[in-house]
Amino acid sequence: MDNKYLHHTWTKIRPIKTRYLLVTCLVFTLVGVNALRQNNIRMVELRDKVYQADEKGGDVEAALQTLRAHVYAHMNTNLSSGNTSVYPPVQLKYTYERLVDTEQKKLSEANANVYSDAQAHCERLFPGSFSGGPRIPCIQEYVTTHGTDATAQKIPDSLYKFDFVSPSWSPDVAGFSVFLAGIFVFL
């Protein structure tokens, strides 16, 4: 930059009293701190709505989209696990548990069907015998040969854990207030 330009700018700013700059900086700082706090409070409300939708079996995806949009658009709304936390901040525990229960029910129904099929098959092979005798080894063999298809699928729980990272600066009230407070500190 040209020294002449800097000197000209300084001569324009110099007549402004320092206390006015300090008061303006303080006002923008207070507005910025309040806006950052409001961003965080709104994020907590949206996160609680996600938890409520998860617990009640509601529209979790819509609640997550709203939370994600807010976090990505506002400062001080970070929901990332980072190095210090053990768990990701948003976990859809109830949705995951419902999915695991459904998978277990499917598995138990499939196993029951295999056992029923084994009994019917062995009754056809050995019509004259009762529940004991040759039917027991036949049923065991049938279940071991035909029951391997009905194994529980491992559901990765990482699909139900979410991290959201907020921007360092955002074009909202908080962002502009922090920016203007920084400029007045510099002046």
pLDDT tens-digit series, residues 87-108: 578 888 898 989 888 888 888 7
Backbone angles phi, psi at 16, to 5 degrees: -70, 130
For the chain, the domains span 19-92+162-187, 99-151
Q: What is the model's pTM?
A: 0.70
Tens-place pLDDT, residues 70-91: 999 998 888 877 665 545 788 8
CA distances from 157 to 56, 92, 97, 162 (A): 19, 9, 10, 11
Token pair 């139900």 is found at 160
Cα-based angle 55, 58, 64 (whole degrees, multiple of 5): 90
Contacts with 35 (C-beta within 8 Å, 6 or more apart), sequence order:
172, 173, 174, 177
CA–CA gap between residue 153 and residue 187 (Å, rounded): 63
d(C-alpha 56, C-alpha 95), whole Å: 9
Enumerate the β-bridge partners of residue 79. Answer: 164
Asked if the model's pLDDT at residue 150 lies above 60, the reply is no
